[in-house]
Structure 1
Amino acid sequence: MKEKIWKIREGDDIKVATIRSEMALSPIIARLLVNRGIDTKEAVYDYYNATTESFHDPFMMTDMKMAVKRILRSRDQEEKIMIYGDYDVDGVTSTSILYMFLEEIGCLVDYYIPDRHEEGYGINIEALTEVKDRGFKLLISVDTGITAVKEVAYSNEIGLDVIITDHHECQDVLPSGVAVLNPKREGDRYPFKMLAGVGVTFKLIQALARTTDVENKIWKYLDLVAVGTIADIVPIYGENRTITKLAFQSMPTTWNKGLEALMKVSDLEGKKMTAGRIGFGIGPRLNAAGRIKHAKEAVELFILNDTSKCMTIAEGLDQDNKNRQSLEKRIFEEAVALIEASSNPPNQKVIVVASDSWHHGVIGIVASKLVEKYYRPIIILTIKDGVASGSARSVEGFNLYLALKANGHLFDKFGGHEMAAGMSLQENNIEALEKGLNLYADEHMEKDVLIPKLKVDMVMKLEDIGLELIEDIQKMEPFGMGNPEPTFICEGPIHHMKKIGKDQTHLSLELGVDPKIRGVGFSLGEVTEWIDDGQLVQCVCSLEINEWNQRKSPQMMVKDIRHTTATLKEIKNQILEHSVIDYFEDFEVHHEDRLSRQMLSDFYRFLMQKDSVLDHEIYFTKLMAQLDIKQTQDLKKYLMMLEVFSELELIQYEIKGLSMTFSLNKGKKVDLQDSKLYNKFL
């Protein structure tokens, strides 16, 4: 488990006091709001009171009037409109809502989503030719197209008008379409820049609805807008918070038969909706369509109005998702093997890994898992016919898009944003890309970027945790990037630690004495290797309500655990003192530092017991618990005993951080009197 930096958010105390007074908030809730930039009376009101009136005027977006005018001209002249969408959840939901709305207002409309495996990402010339040959006069891209300069130029040549709607970063030159809708355009007046692709599509729908006087009919689409917004991991503040907050109220009884079926197979029917349930339940099943087969199945799921057919599609997506998980596991294991064999991850700031045997549809997910494992930017590529295409994921603090742009000459095409991107390039450019990205990282990556960080809102006393507080925190939902779930540092003695779960990788615990609070830590089972019951620890956790047998109680969802800062500092000091001792020089030995033959014998038997079960790594905190070492300063005796054993060639050991590894020379007979260090401490 990687050591993490805990960073406590620094809120403005004056602002906390002000909004606490003005809005009658508890001090904890006031602090949490200020930490999220909600620091005025008006901002607090908007945060808690999202309505359809909270949306910005869509016509503030550059080119919106031209887009609306061109679409309505197609409707009035009965021209066929083609929606060109991306194959991820954002693209699928964008395609679906625009298709349904245009059909609702009387347009002749169809949709086209490129095959992920045959056509790849973005608008392509072959597809444009096909669309034109089928008699379409207007193409509207959703969640894609902002970098399609050559493709749109070709479309203009063949007489196919193009409207671009996208949210990805803009390059220096924009496509020459009829309209280019993207709030990130330079000089764009639209006040909220962080919409997902489906959010930009919804703004186009809103503008069309206002113009045709049917705005009251569009709010039902927010269910699908929220799904795409959450799945694309955009910040959940501003208009994105309005979208998700309103949608989460209606989703348990959604009007959309496809979404209803998907919620059934995801075991979410009738349940309270959260960003996590979309991100881990609905999103992966929708993505499985484009990853394993074709994303048009996901679009059909949403635009059909037939319960039976929707259920059949949803069940198919559920099976596709299971197949995807199996495929993903194999590719992840192969990628790890390649990385470990070919490079030294700790010294390489950006990792590029490629193979000709990987399924293109799942490598983006694998990239995210590799980032979790190595905590550094990852590019994973699959090679076919000399062309490498793939996905990239970054870590906080390293702008992936700018890094790719600096190496843009190596790509056939690329696109994305700060944290994620997609690209294609010639196979013979892979090595140059890895070198170029690492040179860029050497110049632009801050020193601590590659150390995982946990952002914490505040230190919380256990006695302050109660049901009322947790209920107040739940009113801050929906959580997500930009509006993170509140996290706290709690301190107390740890009890009843137990590994749980099918693979024993998770942790159950209790913290404190009176009060004591139960906690669960996912993927924290290995904590038992260096922490023992009864020790004083600090936890980073979020809070939730546990309901069991009609009783409610507070529960911690633990993100990380460590010994208290004071304990760790004392242990480090003991190790440091030990490392500079030269026992051949004169130094004063205090009475409390004396060693005895019995102490050495007991400690050696302890090490032999560890050795017998092949446990050759010991954390000093765990050693203190197992040997009942009450005071940290007593640890130095055991460090001295290790040195005595080493001097007598009974053991080889190495201290690494807060742990040591060792191996015993079994069967060796020695006399303690032969140790100069033992004689000095006798």
Structure 2
Amino acid sequence: MLHNKLWLYKEIPQEDIDRVSSNAGISRFLAKIFISRGMEDKESIKKFLNPSLDMLYDPFLLKDMQKAVDRIILAIERKEKIVIYGDYDVDGITSTSVLYNFLKSRNADVDYYIPDRIDEGYGLTAGTVEKVCAMNASLVITVDCGITAIDEVNYINNRKIDVIVTDHHECKEILPDAHAVISPCRPDSQYPFSYLAGVGVVFKLVHAICIAMGLGTEYLNYLDLVALGTVADVVPLVDENRVIVSCGLDKVRNTANIGLKKLVENCNPNSKPITSWMIGYVMAPRINAAGRMGDARRAVRLFTTEDETEASDIVLQLNDENRLRQDMEAEILNEAISIIDADESYMKEKVLVVAGEGWHHGVIGIVASRITEKYHRPCLLFSKEGDIAKGSGRSIDSFDLFEALTHCQDLIDRFGGHEQAAGLTVPADNLPAFRKKINEYADSILNDEDLMPQIEIDVRIDKDDLNRDNIIELDALAPFGAGNPAPVFVYRDLKIGNIRTVGDNRHLKLKLQDEEHLFDAIGFNMGDKADVLRTGDMVDAACTLEINTWNSIDTIQMNLRDLRFGSETAIKEQYYLNLDRCMEMRESAEAGIFNESCDSILQRVKPISRKEFIDLAGSQQNMVIIANTLETVLYIESLLKKISVDIKKVLEICYTIFYNIDVSKIYALINPEPDTLDFSKIDNVVFCGRWVKDSYMKSIIGRIDKSGIYFLDDELIDNIYSDELIPDRRDMVAVYQYVKANCRNNKLVDSLLMLSRRISNSYKINMNSFKLKRSLEIFDELKLMEYREIGGERISLLVADNGKKKTNLENSKSYRYLQQLKAKLKEA
């Protein structure tokens, strides 16, 4: 938030919006969203807006489906014992429940086995297959697991028990030697859609059996549980999954399943519309709590019982365990963050491998997700118990976690999963080697841009778009989830009118203003950013849109996904962050301040007036403006905005370096690095404003081998404000007091930008990242704290324990030099 996130969006031509709107018979507002998502033809849009059951694919297109159906029907007819082997997450629980309920309805002799998450782990294992074989079954059907269980399936086969594998996880090179292996992900699959959840594969199996047995649409009786498991497993809600969830949500609202009905009543006491969000964030965590905190079989009993009292009791148990899970999650998350922040080597690694003693196995997967979200790096979190470490991993879009684990499999006992999530077991002694090897692999795959969090934005909006009709129309795009997220909009140049936190300071509540229009905005889990924002700040908001109802009053609300500073504030903050990269402030004060030898500096430079500057900007030649001070940049931006219509060019601000030159733009280059400059393709170079040092300006002029060098002589460009650049004693006291009060174990990790704004707001002083860095360097010199840059804009501060001993700032050479420089700047 406010930095280090890449916003991805493209402006959409009006003619494209009009064309799609007219052809598809939809509003221009919806047309913009469809275009941004690459969907422009009439038929595709029509299918998307009208998902129906006749869009489901033939289940027999799945490899081995006929073999599986024949074997299951034979088992039903012969009254053979069938055991369903499931998994302890929502997908595995719903998969087990759907198949169990269906086979029970066919009077099959059926039982199920759900492994214990902590004692037995995921999938078929050496320990669990023996227990399954002891259940006297002649047919074992795996659901949501089994695709990598080569040895375990062989073991069951040797016991003269047939195995049918149904799964949706990534396959290894060799498939299990089962009677049938049903998976849309197997290498030889020709099924049209490969992103079914485990319960989706079970649904196709039940559908196929219904076709074979002439049972009509009986398979649709289970669509509520199938939708539940599909949403909870975070598979893309497109194509067949969109049909399953769209139609399944209607069945959830009016479910005949006793356990699901009790769960809905408990999670939704006010009878709000059942949405994919409610399933994913309210209902699914309670179901998952069964396996995370205890026996997952209870969740299967919830969805298979015909006893309302039993169902109600189980729902209450799951509520209690979900609260316990939340407490454990917070505790482990804080421990993991402390480990990462205390070890600076983590900031140099692309994959975070973190281990703790006795962390609850059922919770580490959620915590890994939180860590990945916070640091935008793949994370593998391990719980060490004796000589074994059981782990759970989560990843980012650009890193295939399953492939990475395959690369490291010589150090792993067992693993399974897919691109974005995985579980694994590693000998504890192998963890250092594993951490090193997976990071070596990541270094070969990922670059720095991959580690920058991205927000995909659909459409830019303004005040005219924010009306009730448009927001209600967005419901046509639901259900939302992976692959079909709620549309994200960008609204630019909003003024912050009010800042507060709600929900025990966890959430951020803002009033945002565009001229006379006021809008409410909520930022969930953004409460910690309240102390870096200021009333009057101009911001751009990335958000979803919703109708918020409070006390029977409906209001339009922005649900914030991110904030970044608006153009003027962003220029200021970026200026300060880049200023010290290009100027050596530690040179002697006697080396010269601006204008000390103006004639020698400008002997190759032609002064021009403001009118001549405007004429030059409007010419067919390209132009780069070079400036050293913030006031110059803001003045030039203001000047060019006034004339941009006449000259038909836009200003692009660059820091330290520029790349491709576009004649339709004017470039303002702030604090350039002389050694990186190439002016060979530049027609005109215009220096503007004051310069802190003539030597800096000379070094840039020396890189220019052309006659088109100018200096804008404009009295309206302000002088250098030393108070903006050089900290005084009051500033230094505020910095030291804030850092000491807010460090943890004498250590504080933050970014210069965020820390400077927090100090500013706390002490009501003018602090920026440039002044803050000067202050920290002085404290480092005086050994009051250790200051280090640890990557990107992040810094590490270690406060020294000096007791009550006082330190004189004048003992710092840097402090004395800065005060001398400040005096000379004011004198000039």
Q: Give the TM-score of the pair, scaled to structure 1.
A: 0.90
Which ranges in structure 1 are unaligned for 5 or more consecutive residues? Answer: none
- Pair 1:494-2:639 in alignment: no
Task: Give the secondary-structure state (helix, strand or coil) at the position aligned to 1:483.
Answer: coil
Please tell me the residue identity of whatever aligns with 1:20. S
- Pair 1:88-2:89 in alignment: yes
Partner of 1:503: 505
Task: Give the secondary-structure state (helix, strand or coil) at the position aligned to 2:168.
Answer: coil
- Rate the CA distance shift 1:612–1:154 in 2: closer, same or farther, 3 A: closer
Task: Give the secondary-structure state (helix, strand or coil) at the position aligned to 1:479.
Answer: coil
The offset of 1:677, in angstroms, is 4.2
Partner of 1:403: 404
Structure-to-structure mapping, 1:205-284, within 5 angstroms? 205-267=206-268, 270-284=271-285
Distance in structure 1 (CA, Å) of the matches to 2:391 and 2:112: 25
Please tell me the residue identity of whatever aligns with 1:5. K
Partner of 2:824: 679
Answer with 538-547 or 387-396: which moved more: 387-396
Distance in structure 2 (CA, Å) of the matches to 1:349 and 1:468: 44
The offset of 1:562, in angstroms, is 1.8
Task: Give the secondary-structure state (helix, strand or coil) at the position aligned to 2:451.
Answer: coil
8 Å CA contact retained: 2:258, 2:305? yes
Task: Give the secondary-structure state (helix, strand or coil) at the position aligned to 2:448.
Answer: coil
- Rate the CA distance shift 1:596–1:198 in 2: closer, same or farther, 3 A: closer
Task: Give the secondary-structure state (helix, strand or coil) at the position aligned to 2:416.
Answer: strand
Please tell me the residue identity of whatever aligns with 1:587. F
Distance in structure 2 (CA, Å) of the matches to 1:239 and 1:600: 59
- Rate the CA distance shift 1:658–1:537 in 2: closer, same or farther, 3 A: farther
Distance in structure 2 (CA, Å) of the matches to 1:527 and 1:326: 23
- Pair 1:51-2:61 in alignment: no
Distance in structure 2 (CA, Å) of the matches to 1:63 and 1:318: 40
- Rate the CA distance shift 1:63–1:601 in 2: closer, same or farther, 3 A: closer
Task: Give the secondary-structure state (helix, strand or coil) at the position aligned to 1:192.
Answer: coil
The offset of 1:337, in angstroms, is 3.3
Structure-to-structure mapping, 1:309-320, within 5 angstroms? 309-320=310-321
Task: Give the secondary-structure state (helix, strand or coil) at the position aligned to 2:522.
Answer: strand
8 Å CA contact retained: 1:538, 1:562? yes
> CA RMSD for the aligned pairs?
3.6
Distance in structure 1 (CA, Å) of the matches to 2:11 and 2:84: 45
Distance in structure 2 (CA, Å) of the matches to 1:438 and 1:38: 38
Distance in structure 2 (CA, Å) of the matches to 1:342 and 1:639: 27
- Pair 1:538-2:540 in alignment: yes
8 Å CA contact retained: 2:2, 2:563? no
Distance in structure 2 (CA, Å) of the matches to 1:509 and 1:659: 29
Residue by residue, what CA displacement relative to the aligned partner does 1:583-619 show, whole Å, maximum 9, x if unpaired?
422422868426699x999975566567666689776
Partner of 2:460: 459
Answer with 50-59 or 607-616: which moved more: 607-616
1:524 aligns with one of 505, 510, 526: 526
Counting matched residue pairs gives: 675
- Rate the CA distance shift 1:99–1:573 in 2: closer, same or farther, 3 A: same
Distance in structure 2 (CA, Å) of the matches to 1:438 and 1:660: 22
- Rate the CA distance shift 1:216–1:621 in 2: closer, same or farther, 3 A: same
Answer with 483-492 or 248-257: which moved more: 248-257
- Rate the CA distance shift 1:278–1:383 in 2: closer, same or farther, 3 A: same
8 Å CA contact retained: 1:260, 1:269? no
The offset of 1:463, in angstroms, is 2.6
8 Å CA contact retained: 2:548, 2:557? yes
Task: Give the secondary-structure state (helix, strand or coil) at the position aligned to 1:236.
Answer: coil
Partner of 1:300: 301
- Rate the CA distance shift 1:212–1:612 in 2: closer, same or farther, 3 A: same
Which ranges in structure 2 are unaligned for 5 or more consecutive residues? Answer: 597-689, 691-714, 743-751, 800-805
Distance in structure 2 (CA, Å) of the matches to 1:658 and 1:145: 45
8 Å CA contact retained: 1:463, 1:515? no
The offset of 1:535, in angstroms, is 2.2
Task: Give the secondary-structure state (helix, strand or coil) at the position aligned to 1:188.
Answer: coil
- Rate the CA distance shift 1:625–1:603 in 2: closer, same or farther, 3 A: farther
Distance in structure 1 (CA, Å) of the matches to 2:242 and 2:289: 26
- Rate the CA distance shift 1:600–1:12 in 2: closer, same or farther, 3 A: closer
Structure-to-structure mapping, 1:74-223, within 5 angstroms? 74-223=75-224
Answer with 570-579 or 15-24: which moved more: 570-579
Distance in structure 2 (CA, Å) of the matches to 1:87 and 1:473: 35
Distance in structure 2 (CA, Å) of the matches to 1:611 and 1:427: 42
Residue by residue, what CA displacement relative to the aligned partner does 1:391-415 show, whole Å, maximum 9, x if unpaired?
1111121110110011112222111
- Rate the CA distance shift 1:671–1:369 in 2: closer, same or farther, 3 A: closer
Distance in structure 1 (CA, Å) of the matches to 2:142 and 2:424: 19
1:587 aligns with one of 579, 591, 594: 594
Higher relative contact order (CA 8 A, sep 6+): 1
Please tell me the residue identity of whatever aligns with 1:537. V
8 Å CA contact retained: 1:114, 1:120? yes
The offset of 1:11, in angstroms, is 8.2
Partner of 1:554: 556
Answer with 423-432 or 231-240: which moved more: 423-432
Residue by residue, what CA displacement relative to the aligned partner does 1:292-327 show, whole Å, maximum 9, x if unpaired?
111100000000011111000110111111122222
The offset of 1:37, in angstroms, is 4.0
Distance in structure 2 (CA, Å) of the matches to 1:260 and 1:414: 36
Partner of 1:367: 368
Larger radius of gyration: 2
Please tell me the residue identity of whatever aligns with 1:317. L
8 Å CA contact retained: 1:509, 1:520? no
Distance in structure 2 (CA, Å) of the matches to 1:333 and 1:498: 25
Structure-to-structure mapping, 1:34-49, within 5 angstroms? 34-49=35-50
8 Å CA contact retained: 1:206, 1:218? yes
The offset of 1:262, in angstroms, is 1.5
Please tell me the residue identity of whatever aligns with 2:446. M
Answer with 87-96 or 494-503: which moved more: 494-503
Partner of 1:476: 477
Partner of 1:321: 322
8 Å CA contact retained: 1:672, 1:678? no
8 Å CA contact retained: 1:495, 1:533? yes
Distance in structure 1 (CA, Å) of the matches to 2:386 and 2:102: 41
8 Å CA contact retained: 1:102, 1:109? yes
- Rate the CA distance shift 1:136–1:476 in 2: closer, same or farther, 3 A: same
8 Å CA contact retained: 1:16, 1:39? no
8 Å CA contact retained: 1:143, 1:166? yes
Please tell me the residue identity of whatever aligns with 1:8. L
Residue by residue, what CA displacement relative to the aligned partner does 1:343-376 show, whole Å, maximum 9, x if unpaired?
6221011122223412212111121122123321
Distance in structure 1 (CA, Å) of the matches to 2:423 and 2:324: 23
The offset of 1:627, in angstroms, is 11
Answer with 599-608 or 259-268: which moved more: 599-608
Task: Give the secondary-structure state (helix, strand or coil) at the position aligned to 1:218.
Answer: helix
Answer with 86-95 or 368-377: which moved more: 368-377
Answer with 547-556 or 573-582: which moved more: 573-582
Please tell me the residue identity of whatever aligns with 1:517. F
- Rate the CA distance shift 1:229–1:4 in 2: closer, same or farther, 3 A: farther
The offset of 1:27, in angstroms, is 2.4
Partner of 1:424: 425
Task: Give the secondary-structure state (helix, strand or coil) at the position aligned to 1:496.
Answer: strand
8 Å CA contact retained: 1:252, 1:270? no
The offset of 1:504, in angstroms, is 5.1
Distance in structure 2 (CA, Å) of the matches to 1:601 and 1:213: 83
Task: Give the secondary-structure state (helix, strand or coil) at the position aligned to 1:675.
Answer: helix
The offset of 1:626, in angstroms, is 10
Q: Percent identity?
A: 34
